[in-house]
Amino acid sequence: MNTLEAARFSRQIGFGFAPDEAIPSDMIGWAQGQMNRTPGVQFFADRQGHLLKDLPDGLKLLQTQEEVAEALFQHDQARLLSNEKAKVLSPTEAEQFRYEQVLYPYWRLEPWKEVLARGAMAVNGPAPVFERFWHFWTNHFTVSPAVNNINTAIGPYMRMLRGHMSGYFGDMLREAVTHPAMVLYLDNARSIGPNSPARTKSKRKDSFNENLGRELLELFTLSPGAGYTQNDVIAAAMILTGWGVRRRQRNQSVSGPFGSYFDDNKHEPSSQTVMGQQYGGAYANRDKLLKLMDDLARHPATARHISTKLATAFITDTPSPELINRLSAVFQKSDGHLPTVHKAVIAEAASAGTALRKFSNPETWLWTIYRVTGAALPVVLPQKGTKGEKLHELLSELGQAIHNCPQPNGWSLYDRDWLSKEMLDRRIRYAFQFAPRLVSQGDQLSEVVVRQHGEQSAIFKTLKQARRSPDQSLRSLWAVYLTSPAILWG
Amino acid sequence: MKRREFIKFSASLTLAGATPWANSAQPAQAKRLLVIMLRGGMDGLAAIPPFADPDIGSLRSELLPSNLLLGNQFFGIHPALPTFAEFMAAGQATAIHATGFGYKGRSHFEGQDIMQSGIMKPYASASGWLGRAMRAAQSKGGVAISIPMPLILRGDAASETQYPSWMQAPPKATYELVSQLWANVPELKPYASRLIESDNLRLTADGTPEPNQQRRTAYSLAKEAAQKMQLPGGPVVGVLDFNGFDTHAGQGAAEGVNATKLKQIDDAIKGYREGIGAKWAQSLVITVTEFGRTASVNGTLGTDHGWGSCVLAAGGLVKAKGIVSQWPGLKKSQLFEGRDLKVTVDALAVYADAIQSVFGLPPEVIQKEVFSYARDSFDTRLFV
């Protein structure tokens, strides 16, 4: 690849090269080299490793299960207290209390801080290609706080997925499905086996639901084409009964355990059959799910499903059967070793060249325009009345609220779903809003465009000609560049 | 009431006799259609509960509100749908019950693809049934009240999307240069010529941007859509896209998660009614969902994915009175696979009738150009 091809390739599988970033001669090696280990998430302010300033005191990413447990507990407590206060305070005071104690810390600060960190890694982190694959996996195993109050668990959950990217799909699957964020999101925490001790002893009426069982087969592993039946879904749901969370109790002074938690008492004891395979008997109740997930992770339909999704996300909306076969073979042969699979995707993307390209979704586009221009990420607290950009709200405005995906199938991987007048218009509006900070840094437009696309490119020629027009300000030209086909397609 | 009597009763509520197909009094373009998509699988048995069915109590007493609004002697209306109930009492709304698609797979995502494409094979179509109906009727320019373009409206290149935004638009010169670059790219060309339009931003009296939260309620979204649709030459079709009907746990009865979702439908009907003005008489508002939910309450006080649901319709174009159904019954033997409300009316037949009403397309054309459906689903027209 020459320099311009390299610059383009870096936009396809990363976020483009920053103005101060050297363009490597071995692009495939550069990209594949990022797949072996998981970089830690930090609030990087630049590519020299400095961290963002002006972060509020004490702001940090929750890491350990104890920290998550404590935060979830505090969130619950704040919510209960806020409900109590609503009974005694005036409506205005009660609303103020709710805002300060519940809305601000958990519904605004949590997603803001996580999206800021995600942006910092994409824009200023050492491994942008790794970040793109991370975005793929957080989307594959989507959780959102819509139904249950799990805001504080989402960031740590996504970073857990990240950790498994240097390991095996099966391990990622196992931890994702049993993670507190997931069992709460897809209602499994309440699912109890109809013949479980917990139910038969107390004659309680509640029992199981199919939500997580179905999505385990449909979204996370096999996909419907594998031909599983309603009975398989129910069997998977039964195998999942008892997997929930143990939250810290109100009367405990110390955080209780919080994490993958199996309650034998709530588990459906008999054996179940999924896709012709029996689970139970020799296995302990707890191990039934782990065995099921091992089998699902190794199922050829899962390899095909994941390979199809990866090819669609990084290479083309319509991957050929040959491409899917090649990636599936790598997936199966490596037993779902993700660095190996990711490297194969990178090699396929490189060999496809410019024939196959992807239209960037709003998130990829947003981080790309920051990275290629070298603009600083905005640190504006998501407080009421503060002016300026809050990145999580901005992504929502662009049509992709990363921490609030509407459905468990995640954001679309297809170009066509990101093409609508409203969506495109919002990118133009944002680019125009974003441009003044580039103008204030001096005139670097030509430099950036030449570096990314060359002097012979259509975009460079168009912008050069337009500069002579009195109607076009430098701000306007930046907005035009950032929404040009050259940037919209990676 | 016995089943046979009941069917007779409901049939008597609809007008007998055939109406000339493509010969309505209004020119087709004057009519308006608002489609409300309900993603997640709307629980038809909760929205329009058959309270007189002898089996409903044992299946789902936990999910039945005690304060149902009156539908008829057999069906009630959920208390979160008061506007809908009022329109029904006034002869301007109907519910068609035990409706659904030929698809029985219980996957949200396949189901949501099918409910929009009208093609019974998942992910097989790049266009939606509304888009194709508009194309067949040579009726251009629908509007989806959402940021992405939903599949249902694809197929008509002139359709647009809009959604309240706080971002200010750049000057015309910027749009012009963007358009110039986009015009050479096939994927962007359709948008290039349409970029320079009125600002989406809406200001309050003191000149500050109106908060999005207020503009993004179901009521406001529907009202803004209606205000656009009521203009002469305005969009013929509107689409609202609501999600969150997937109530696996803690669904609630008179109140709760599901009631909140149903209230959105009611608010949308109310907002549309207020925004559309005199065109209400030539309007149809209709719901679409991917499937219904299990007849029985599940173990976590919710319901799992099922099959049959119901379609709610309101507006001056509604002809069928009350609740229309060929009720399949709720005994275990009458349920689909022993668990879901059976589908006795092809939902596509209901939408075909809506297409015929709004666009004046005869069934033969709909079968050929839009989708294939069970024409014998009901014997009278539901809509004028």
Residue A64 — very low, low, confident or very high, per pLDDT cuts 50/70/90?
A: confident
Q: Which of A209, A406, A424 sits opposite B304 (nearest CB)?
A: A209
Contacting residues for B369 by C-beta, under 8 A, at least 6 apart = B132, B133, B135, B136, B361
Residue B146 located in a structural domain: yes
B50 shares a domain with B111: yes
With tokens 């989402």, the residue in question is A154
Q: How far apart are CA A182 and CA A143, in angstroms?
A: 6
Q: Which of B107, B191, B298 sits opposite A207 (nearest CB)?
A: B298
Higher pLDDT, B186 or A148: B186
| DSSP summary character for residue B376 | G
| DSSP summary character for residue B233 | T
3-state secondary structure chain A: CCHHHHHHHHHHHCCCCCCCCCCCCCHHHHHHHHHCCCCCCCCECCCCCCECCCCCCCCCCCCCHHHHHHHHHHHHHHHHHHHHHHHHCCHHHHHHHHHHHHHHHHHHHHHHHHHHHHHHHHHHCCCHHHHHHHHHHHHHCCCCCCCCCCHHHHHHHHHHHHHHCCCEHHHHHHHHHHCHHHHHHCCHHHCCCCCCHHHHHHCCCCCCCCHHHHHHHHHHCCCHHHCCCHHHHHHHHHHHCCEECCCCCCCCCCCCCCCCEECHHHCCCCCEEECCEEECCCCCHHHHHHHHHHHHHHCHHHHHHHHHHHHHHHCCCCCCHHHHHHHHHHHHHCCCEHHHHHHHHHHHHHHHHHHCCCECCHHHHHHHHHHHHCCCCCCCCCCCCCCCCCHHHHHHHCCCCCCCCCCCCCCCCCHHHHCCHHHHHHHHHHHHHHCHHHHCCCCCHHHHHHHHHCCCCHHHHHHHHHCCCCCCCHHHHHHHHHCCHHHHEC
B331 shares a domain with B196: no
Which residue in chain B has the smallest CA separation from A470? B173
Q: What is the CATH number of the domain that holds B112?
A: 3.40.720
Residue B197 — very low, low, confident or very high, per pLDDT cuts 50/70/90?
A: low
End of a domain among A268, A298, A328? Answer: A298
Residue B273 located in a structural domain: no
B175 shares a domain with B111: no
Residue A369 located in a structural domain: yes
- Nearest-neighbour CA in chain A from B175: distance (Å): 8
B120 touches chain A (CB under 8 A): no
Mean predicted lDDT score pLDDT of chain A: 92
Nearest to A231 by CA among A293, A282, A287, A278: A278
Q: Worst-scoring range by mean pLDDT, A12-16, A130-134, A367-371, B375-379? A: B375-379
The pLDDT value recorded for residue B17 is 29
CA-to-CA separations, A27 to A54, A366, A367, B156, in angstroms, rounded: 35, 23, 20, 42
Q: How many CB atoms lie within 10 A of CB A204?
A: 12
A156 shares a domain with A48: yes
Residue B232 located in a structural domain: no
Which residue in chain A has the smallest CA separation from B299? A207
CB contact under 8 A, A421 and B161: yes
3-state secondary structure B257-268: HHHHHHHHHHHH
Q: How many CB atoms lie within 10 A of CB B69?
A: 17
pLDDT at B15 over 60: no
B19 touches chain A (CB under 8 A): no
Residue A464 located in a structural domain: no
| Chain A residues inside the 8 Å CB shell of B169 | 425, 428-429, 432
B177 shares a domain with B154: no
B183 shares a domain with B65: no
Average the pLDDT over B378-384 and give the result.
Answer: 88
With tokens 């390739």, the residue in question is A9
pLDDT at A148 over 90: no
B192 shares a domain with B90: no
Interface with chain B: mutation pick from A480, A481, A482, A487, highest number of B CBs within 10 Å: A480
Q: How far apart are CA A317 and CA A308, in angstroms?
A: 9
CB contact under 8 A, B106 and A472: no
Residue A477 located in a structural domain: no
Residue A135 located in a structural domain: yes
Residue B212 located in a structural domain: no
B355 shares a domain with B263: yes
End of a domain among B200, B223, B251? Answer: B200
| Chain A residues inside the 8 Å CB shell of B171 | 476
Residue A183 located in a structural domain: yes
A105 shares a domain with A16: yes
Counted across chains A and B, CB pairs separated by less than 8 A come out at: 167
End of a domain among B177, B200, B223? Answer: B200
- Nearest-neighbour CA in chain B from A24: distance (Å): 30
A53 shares a domain with A128: yes
Q: Worst-scoring range by mean pLDDT, A138-147, A201-210, A407-416? A: A201-210
A272 shares a domain with A189: yes
Q: Of all residues in chain B, what percent carry a pLDDT higher than 70?
A: 89
Q: How far apart are CA A448 and CA A433, in angstroms?
A: 19
- The domain total for chain B is 2
The pLDDT value recorded for residue B24 is 44
Residue A230 located in a structural domain: yes
Which residue in chain A has the smallest CA separation from B188? A419
A178 shares a domain with A154: no
Q: Which of B107, B177, B248 sits opposite A218 (nearest CB)?
A: B107
Tokens for A382?
């998501």
Tokens for A344?
């194969």
B248 shares a domain with B132: yes
- The domain total for chain A is 2
Average the pLDDT over A132-143 and give the result.
Answer: 98
B29 touches chain A (CB under 8 A): no
Q: How far apart are CA A225 and CA A104, in angstroms?
A: 43
Residue A433 located in a structural domain: no
Average the pLDDT over A440-445 and give the result.
Answer: 83
The parent domain of residue B191 ranges over 167-200
A369 shares a domain with A391: yes
Residue B310 located in a structural domain: yes
A112 shares a domain with A92: yes
The pLDDT value recorded for residue A389 is 87
| Chain B residues inside the 8 Å CB shell of A236 | none
Interface with chain A: mutation pick from B146, B181, B239, highest number of A CBs within 10 Å: B181
The pLDDT value recorded for residue A63 is 84
End of a domain among A384, A419, A454? Answer: A419
CB contact under 8 A, B300 and A191: yes
Contacting residues for B40 by C-beta, under 8 A, at least 6 apart = A407, B108, B243, B244, B245, B246, B247, B289, B290
CB contact under 8 A, B177 and A462: yes
Beta bridge partners of B312: B95
Q: Which of A194, A432, A459 sits opposite B174 (nearest CB)?
A: A432
What global pTM score does this model have?
0.89
CB contact under 8 A, A476 and B173: yes
Digit-coded pLDDT (tens) for A262-317: 999 999 999 999 999 999 877 789 999 999 999 999 999 999 999 999 999 999 99
Residue B169 — very low, low, confident or very high, per pLDDT cuts 50/70/90?
A: confident
The parent domain of residue A219 ranges over 168-298
| Chain B residues inside the 8 Å CB shell of A460 | none
Q: Which of B148, B181, B244 sits opposite A146 (nearest CB)?
A: B244
Nearest to A173 by CA among A342, A284, A296: A296
Tokens for B165?
């935004």
- Nearest-neighbour CA in chain A from B248: distance (Å): 6
Residue B233 — very low, low, confident or very high, per pLDDT cuts 50/70/90?
A: confident
Residue-wise over B282-295: b if at least 16 C-beta within 10 A, else e?
bbbbbbbbbbbbbb
pLDDT at B365 over 50: yes
Contacting residues for A315 by C-beta, under 8 A, at least 6 apart = A323, A345, A348, A349, A352, A356, A358
| Chain A residues inside the 8 Å CB shell of B152 | none
CB contact under 8 A, A479 and B174: yes
CB contact under 8 A, A409 and B108: yes
B298 touches chain A (CB under 8 A): yes
The pLDDT value recorded for residue B380 is 83
The pLDDT value recorded for residue A368 is 98
A159 shares a domain with A37: yes
CB contact under 8 A, A422 and B146: yes
A22 shares a domain with A116: yes
B179 touches chain A (CB under 8 A): no
A335 shares a domain with A294: no
Contacting residues for A83 by C-beta, under 8 A, at least 6 apart = none
Q: Which of B147, B176, B244 sits opposite A420 (nearest CB)?
A: B147
Interface with chain B: mutation pick from A202, A211, A243, A425, highest number of B CBs within 10 Å: A425
B213 touches chain A (CB under 8 A): no
B69 shares a domain with B49: yes
CB contact under 8 A, B148 and A415: no
- Nearest-neighbour CA in chain A from B338: distance (Å): 12
CA-to-CA separations, A127 to A35, A121, A169, A469, in angstroms, rounded: 9, 8, 20, 40
Digit-coded pLDDT (tens) for B305-330: 999 999 999 999 999 989 999 999 99
A159 shares a domain with A12: yes
CB contact under 8 A, A147 and B174: no
CB B314 within 8 A of CB B62: no
CB contact under 8 A, A480 and B108: no
Digit-coded pLDDT (tens) for B267-307: 999 999 999 999 999 999 999 999 999 999 998 899 999 99
End of a domain among A419, A452, A470? Answer: A419
| Chain B residues inside the 8 Å CB shell of A430 | 167
CB contact under 8 A, A425 and B39: no
B115 shares a domain with B196: no
Higher pLDDT, B17 or B110: B110
Average the pLDDT over B356-383 and give the result.
Answer: 92
Residue B60 located in a structural domain: yes
Residue A388 located in a structural domain: yes
CB contact under 8 A, B162 and A421: yes
B147 shares a domain with B121: yes
Nearest to B77 by CA among B237, B226, B269, B246: B269
Interface with chain A: mutation pick from B43, B58, B107, B289, highest number of A CBs within 10 Å: B107
End of a domain among B175, B200, B225? Answer: B200
- Nearest-neighbour CA in chain A from B200: distance (Å): 9
Residue B13 located in a structural domain: yes
Residue A75 — very low, low, confident or very high, per pLDDT cuts 50/70/90?
A: confident
Q: Worst-scoring range by mean pLDDT, A123-137, A245-259, A370-384, B8-22? A: B8-22
A149 shares a domain with A98: yes
Listed by number, the residues of chain B in 100-119 with a beta carbon closer than 8 Å to a beta carbon of chain A are: 105-110
CB contact under 8 A, B147 and A462: no
